[in-house]
Amino acid sequence: MQKLKIALLLFLPLILLLNTSFNAGRNTPPVAAVASKPLSDSMTLPKQLADEKYFGPVLDIYPPTIVGNFGEPRRLHFHTGLDFRTNQEEGHKVFAAAGGYISRINVNGAGYGNALYITHPNGYVTVYGHLLRFNPQIMQRLRREQYAKENFAVDFYLKPDELPVMKGDTIALSGNTGGSGGPHLHFEIRDSAERIYNPMLFGYKLKDDLKPVVNYLKFYPLDDLKYKSDGYRTKVLGKAGVYEVTGGIVKLNAEQVGVSINTWDVLNLSEAHIGIYNITVFDGDKMIYEYQMDRIAFSDKRDVLSHTDYSIFVNEAHRTFHKCFVEPGNRCPVYCNLSNSGVIDLSDGKAHDIHIEVSDFSGNVSQVKFKLQQDKASILFKAGDLKYTTLFDYDHANEFANSDIKIKIPQGCLFDNVFFNYSSALSTDPTVFSKVHQVDNSNTQLFDWFDLSVKTENLNPALADKAIVIFKDGIGATTSRGGKFENGFINCRAREFGTYYARMDTTAPQIKSLNVLAGKNMRTYKKLLFKITDNLSGIVEFDTYMDDKWTVTEYDAKSATLFHILDQSLSLGEHTFKVVVTDERKNRAEYSIKFMM
């Protein structure tokens, strides 16, 4: 029985972008303990980085261009590689960056899709994602694994002598598989400890003589007004990499202030807006903050939720404001020089000369210069009423419970203290079997999972195994959190604040043929295409059979499409193709169709 674990991939494709088995614990020191020294020293980058000729081209397009770079903030993670442009086409040759051996093959309907990993003699591993197809030798090894496990989705490791490669060998064709938003090649460089490096450190530099763009600044009160004000945003003006604020000075009604900067980089030969490599902030002559994207670990990537102004990012088409101060629960090691966590102290009442520099990897620098001063008469920080149910301390485990809901948040899940709000209401929807719980709001993000229990109401005990918890975010999108019914509650795990309630899933998935009709002659077709969808809990497995024998059928989560590549050696005459799909609540659908060859 094929066990394609894709329930979470259907409704959480982004959080599973990388294999979570590599996530380590949050054992890095608190931000306050980060040493004030250059990143290259504090991260002890290996000597091999100086050899920029070890790795070669990975794509048959010259000159290469990218549509995404290392460390670029995404919705739920820092991007961990370079996304090489393939001109919106699939099928470009992908080359081994250096000699070594195929050490891992990972195939899935989401995430990196079809992905290869090459281990090299220098100790690094290169990763190639969203591939269309592997070369024939690798495909043969993949098919052997898939048929042995009767599973399309496989993730397995190989021995050094199984599939050796030389530098420049064609290992695959570029594609658009997995969670890709369009055809491209995702390329990474990791070390043996699964830390990910900026590939530009290894010589993957691109033509770039353009300076980064700066658009806005946003200021935040970090004293008594911290939790009462949404901050103040102002546009910057300038050109040729030199920017300033209107009037040259910003007067704020706070003693302790943080700043964020809306900035992005641009490249020659590309229209893409990509991430910034380095940001530094000076108060007078003193550097108080430095961010630099050379290396991160998988356990760091979700810290992007604290690094960016998340509310702006999700509500304004992914507009990125880099916070130039560090929240106490953010322990990402990309902050290499910090003084007072980047907080600007204006308590002396003087006008401070603030200087922000943003740099790309090629050394192009843009600057923003302005003065910052405390002014009690200023009204730029507008204070609102602070209404809350209870205070959650970022440095401790936190719990909240009443007769209808239980919340347990482990230590290390919060980036800062949260003035937590909770409310509930009865639902008029007959398909909802609990109160509707407002668990703070979805703009407040958490680093990791917490335990959530929702009490059910009017639930038929005979159908308790069909009950699930539904999460609805701030823009109305819903996701199943699954859960297990016990003593009147559905217990599940969650990673977001927002709206939660209980529903039942008794509806089987749907299977629809896209190009096969009963009795149709398919001899001239290359694929059998089907669409599989589920209304609520999400698909967890599918199986396909050709004439009652299990057969490999590929899956694309973003289009919910199954496609079976027809074996042109099939005998002439009638054949039967069967699809069996099961959702997370074990509702099962089966579809069979006969066709001709």
Domain at 252, CATH number:
2.60.40
In this structure, what DSSP letter does residue 432 have? Answer: B
Q: Tell me, yes or no, whether 13 lies in a domain.
A: yes
DSSP assignment of 169-188 equals -EEEEEB--TT-SSSEEEEE
| 197 in the same domain as 68 | yes
CATH number at residue 542: 2.60.40.10
Give the per-residue pLDDT at 271: 87
Query: 250 and 194 share a domain?
Result: no
The reply to whether 482 falls in a domain is yes
What per-residue confidence (pLDDT) applies to 38?
Answer: 35
Q: What CATH number is attached to the domain comprising 142?
A: 2.70.70.10
Same domain, 197 and 220: no
Model pLDDT, residue 475: 83
- How many domains does the structure of the chain reveal? 4
Which of 170, 202, 234 delimits the end of a domain?
202
CA angle, residues 133, 137, 139, in degrees to nearest 5: 35
Would residue 198 count as lying in a domain? yes
The domain boundary, picked from 475, 504, 533, lies at 504
State whether 474 and 555 are in the same domain.
no
Phi-psi region of 519 (alpha: psi -120 to 50; beta: other; left: phi over 0): left
From first to last of the 597 residues of the chain, give the pLDDT tens digit. 444 434 333 333 333 333 333 233 343 333 333 333 333 333 455 545 657 789 999 999 999 999 999 999 999 999 999 999 999 999 999 999 999 999 999 999 999 999 999 999 999 999 999 999 999 999 999 999 999 999 999 999 999 999 999 999 999 999 999 999 999 999 999 998 999 999 999 999 898 999 999 999 999 999 999 999 999 999 999 988 999 999 999 999 999 999 999 999 999 988 899 999 999 999 999 999 999 999 999 999 999 999 999 999 999 999 999 999 999 999 999 999 999 999 999 999 999 999 999 999 999 999 999 999 999 999 999 999 999 999 999 999 999 999 999 999 999 999 999 999 999 999 999 999 999 999 999 889 999 999 999 999 999 999 999 999 999 988 888 999 999 999 999 999 999 999 999 999 999 999 999 999 999 999 999 999 999 999 999 999 999 999 999 999 999 999 999 999 999 889 999 999 999 999 999 999 999 999 999
Same domain, 176 and 83: yes
| 47 and 169 belong to one structural domain | yes
Rounded Cα–Cα distance for residues 134 and 507 (Å) = 37
Instruction: State whether 22 and 80 are in the same domain.
Output: yes
Rounded to an integer, what is the distance from CA 359 to the centroid of its chain?
Answer: 24
Evaluate if pTM is beyond 0.85. Answer: yes
- The SS3 of residue 206 is coil
Residues 516, 465 share a domain: no
Q: Show the tokens assigned to 454.
A: 């929702």
Residues 6+ apart with CB under 8 A from 228: 221, 383, 384, 385, 386
Spatial CA neighbour of 198 closest among 295, 270, 105: 295
Task: For residue 476, tell me if it sits in a domain.
Answer: yes
The answer on 445 and 362 residing in a single domain is: no
Instruction: Give me 49's structure tokens.
Output: 């980085």
My answer on whether 158 and 172 are in the same domain is yes
| Residue 381 within any structural domain of the chain | no
What range defines the domain where residue 433 resides? 390-504
Whether residue 276 sits in one domain with residue 187: no
Residue 443 belongs to domain with CATH number: 2.60.220.30
**Per-residue confidence (pLDDT) for residue 583, from 0 to 100:** 97
Residue 302 lies in a domain: no
Q: Are residues 82 and 179 located together in one domain of the fold?
A: yes
DSSP states along 340-386 = GGG-EE-TT-PPEEEEEEEE-TT--EEEEEEEEEE-TT--SS-----
C-alpha R_g of the chain? 26
